Amino acid sequence: MGEKKKKIVKTIKVDVDKCNGCRACEVVCSAFHATPKYGSNNPERSRIRVIRDPLKDIYIPVYAGEYTPSECMGRDKYTIDGKEYDECAFCRASCPSRDLFKEPDSGLPLKCDMCEDDPPQEEPLCVQWCLNDALTYEEREEEEEEEEKPEDLEIGLESLVDKYGLDKIMDTVARMSQKD
């Protein structure tokens, strides 16, 4: 039995009934992740994207999740309360079958980081900027067994090198490491 260690689980609760599709969340997220920081905003660089279809009164924020090197063997399609959504509408993956959650210049996958890198935020920026309270931030502490596992960074780098080639990754890292 390994040692128990504590971890903080961070959750953003989404109340779709309160979202009016204003896209403020996309604006602030993309600006925060721009180079230089806040130097531009482009929703395609955002780690949250809002599914919008005003004619059907559809506004649903979706967060970027994991990168996957291969697409699913099929597609999913949802109908909720009589409203039909596009294929894979709620999927959070950065996947080869679509352009969503990919950095527009490099094509590299995007993933929500809860804005925790620099500087630490009291609350994620998208939550702070959502004036309709559609997004609510919560934290809780959980205990987990400590176990040896490969670092996320290691797995991520291997997948990226497979997918994009070492030269492209090196270029992107060099660009990202330039000072703002």
Name the residues that contact ligand SF4, by CB under 6 A: 19-25, 29, 47-48, 50, 59, 61, 63, 112-115, 124-126, 129-130, 132, 134-135
Q: Which of 136, 112, 138, 124 is nearest to 18 (CA)?
A: 136
Question: In whole angstroms, how close is the CB of 72 to ligand SF4 at the nearest point?
Answer: 23
CA distance 125 to 88: 26
> Of the two residues 48 and 95, which places its CB atom closer to ligand SF4 in the complex?
48
> Of the two residues 67 and 129, which places its CB atom closer to ligand SF4 in the complex?
129
On the question of a cis peptide bond just before residue 36, with omega within 30 degrees of 0, the verdict is: yes
Q: What are the φ/ψ torsions at residue 18 (nearest 5 degrees)?
A: -95, -10
> Of the two residues 5 and 38, which places its CB atom closer to ligand SF4 in the complex?
38
Q: What are the φ/ψ torsions at residue 35 (nearest 5 degrees)?
A: -120, 120
> Of the two residues 71 and 113, which places its CB atom closer to ligand SF4 in the complex?
113
Question: In whole angstroms, how close is the CB of 107 to ligand SF4 at the nearest point?
Answer: 19
